[in-house]
Amino acid sequence: MRVITTTELRTKSKQLIEALREGYSVDLIHRSKLVGKFQPAQVAQPLTRADIEQVQKFAVALNLPKLSYGERRKRYGHHLAQKYGKNLP
């Protein structure tokens, strides 16, 4: 199943689910025009030790300053005041 119409959505939902589970994308047709596309959801791959080490290398390369919780709160409060005004609690 590569194409499904809007009226067939009610009757062929099982075939649509099966096609998506098999990895196929399905085009949605309404009044002889392509209006959308169903694509299977992408499953996130679990992080491996190599991925974690790569992220740690990037973090070291960025060389960001170490901030205390008080400094983070102060900067975030300043950001909120600029974005929304000073009348926030």
Condensed to tens digits (0 to 9), the pLDDT of residues 60-83 reads 999 888 899 999 999 999 999 999
Residue 64, in any domain of the structure: yes
Q: What is the domain extent for residue 34?
A: 3-38
> What is the band of 87 on the pLDDT scale with cuts at 50, 70, 90?
confident
Q: In terms of domains, do 54 and 33 share one?
A: no
Is the model's pLDDT at 6 over the cut of 80? yes
pLDDT for 85 equals 87
Taking residue 26's Cβ as centre, other Cβ atoms within 10 Å add up to: 19
Residue 53, in any domain of the structure: yes
In Å, what is the CA distance from 65 to each residue of 7, 33, 46, 72? 58, 54, 29, 11
Q: In terms of domains, do 59 and 32 share one?
A: no
**Based on the structure, what is the number of domains in the chain?**
2
Q: In terms of domains, do 78 and 53 share one?
A: yes
Residue 57, in any domain of the structure: yes
Residue 89, in any domain of the structure: no
Taking residue 5's Cβ as centre, other Cβ atoms within 10 Å add up to: 13
What are the tens digits of pLDDT across the range 25-47?
999 999 999 999 999 988 788 98
In Å, what is the CA distance from 42 to each residue of 1, 23, 45, 58? 19, 10, 9, 25
